[in-house]
Structure 1
Amino acid sequence: MSNGRWTMPPEWSPHDGTWMAWPVSDYVLVGTGGADGAYRAWAGVANAIARFERLTMMVPPGQVETARGYLDDAIEIVEHPIGESWMRDFGPTFVVSSDGALGAVDWQFNGWGGRTFPEGAMDALVAREIARRSGAERIPSKLVNEGGGIHVDGEGTVLVTESVQLNPNRNPSWTREEVEAELHLRLGTRKAIWLPRGLVADTDETGTDGHIDTLACFAAPGVVLAHREPDPQHPDFATCDENIRILKAATDAEGRSLEVIELPAPSPKRDVNGNPLSLTYVNFSFVNGGIVMCAFEDPRDAEVAELFGRLFPDREIVPVTATRIFEGGGGVHCITQHQPRA
């Protein structure tokens, strides 16, 4: 057991690898236009990441052969029961101690406020299994939280949303101060920047109540990428406007004002049922030497890829079509969980 202080490294720090979960839930398979569409979408992300680092895919019993048919040979498959496909949320949040040990924070997972139980019950055990397989020290927390609900800068600041961590469907008896104290203890942070709520499509029956990883993320200490909906008639316009104003007025744990870089939303799209999608370029994944970004077969894809190239000149920018993933309820960041190098 480590005696050091635990800290969540920023996502751009070196990785030992990335974990994913094979698409299994009915609403993901149906919402993405069928199983083949979901399999291709998840495999597209996995195969892109595997070019840069180790990729481990957790696959439920009985589906290993199917998954292998879509995945590159370099990808390791781990057979384990899962009920959902959003590894960022029910997987562990990896941390590193001051004495060099790897830790895995095991948050309480209640299926995004009870949306997916009883299927989500088995996913509440996944973090424990990944901690065991990765050799990480399991660090249990009493806070109901998901990995998509936090973003850190590695220098003491964490981004969160009131509609997630302070939601009565997750932590009804916790005060804001208690939530912050637990986040700081487990992540090694000391200042939280709160945004009020998430995108409209993230509040439906398959949503998360507004995860931060669809709204804003750190690109570097003091630099935040923020989702901007440019259409004043779009239901997300007011939310984005408020979030950006809050971020521009905020300071981080080091006392710096934040540089806020806006990422415009792509053209509006709808899912197979005709419901509007809240597509966002913020939901990308850092990998060793690269960025795996969401693409939507939209003219803004090239604009954002060029911006990423300027922001991250030492990384290869790899766009992966993510519309099908968003039809299921999330994006590239939502289906991945990075393991930092300890």
Structure 2
Amino acid sequence: MTMPFPRIRSTLAVSAFAAALFGAAAGAQAADCPNGLRDLNIGVSVVPPNVVHTTPYIAKSLGLFEKHCINANIIAFEGGSSATVIAALQQGKIIANVTAAMVGSGMKAHQIWGFAPRLPQSYVVAEEIKTKADLKGKRLSAAGGGVGGFNWLMARALLHDAGLTVDDAQFVSQGLAGRLPGLVAGQLDGVSLHPEDVFLAAQQKPGAHVLVVLAQAMPDYVFNIYGASDEFIKNDRDLLTDAVAAMIEANRMIYRDKDKVIPIMMEASEKPKEAVEFAWAELTKNCIWSVNIGLDRKRTEWTIANSVELGDIPPDRNLTYEQLVDQSIAEAALKKVGGPTEINGCSA
């Protein structure tokens, strides 16, 4: 049974203000494309996106996709591992988040570039929760995909550390936009939040606090890696290479030109300036965004093994690095942008 291609959220409105500022430059860049602009859909894992997910919005708003002869349409999904993402990857001309569990479950796709390979979130809990063991019996978020979704997976990992199982907590499914409001309203006792929402939670929910910084608890866990179907990779490798090149340039601009990217992040994420600036500082300080290929064999193999251990990948479908990752596209894109670099100690 095929699922309709999701049409969830366009970025035309998001980037309209930036288009006025940068349209002339983008048009000049597009004029260097003798065959015109090639269409490409870019998937984003959250509606509206968190600050960490805004790389393609920045690339679009600042004309970086057009510079590489691409007409990018950004589509936001309710969860990076949702059924609609999987269907879109299998059916459409799209790049989106691809996980080891997806490929291990039989999806014919490969990861091609790690745009935010490290976990950016913290697990935030109500005042009375002091340890992981205190999560027993509590209402925990399963936003963005329910069972198997990112929030569910992070809560499961914390419960496991405390010798508990998912049956020891109550999981609440809701839209991703409901994560922070759910905590503030007391509907949730624990939820994985991005830095901008950690900032807002401290203002809006007395006693709410960070139980675990997820990157510290799971330093080798691979967070968000763009990938494409094997058919797409086979048929249009040049387009994928150019798209990755544009987004590498966007990530580098995030580190180097705060004043230019913050307004785009605010517009896309629909979050106030203070929260976005807090998130930008946290994410750049911790090297969350990649500046090169964003792919790491050791961390990827750890994530695969972790997925097998927890049952997300059947043992008989265990993956090698090469079965999950096509690194050649990111390497080709890196050459297009002048080769590897390091920015403020960040070199992934």
**TM-score (norm. length: structure 2):** 0.29
Larger radius of gyration: 2
**Higher helix fraction (1 or 2):** 2
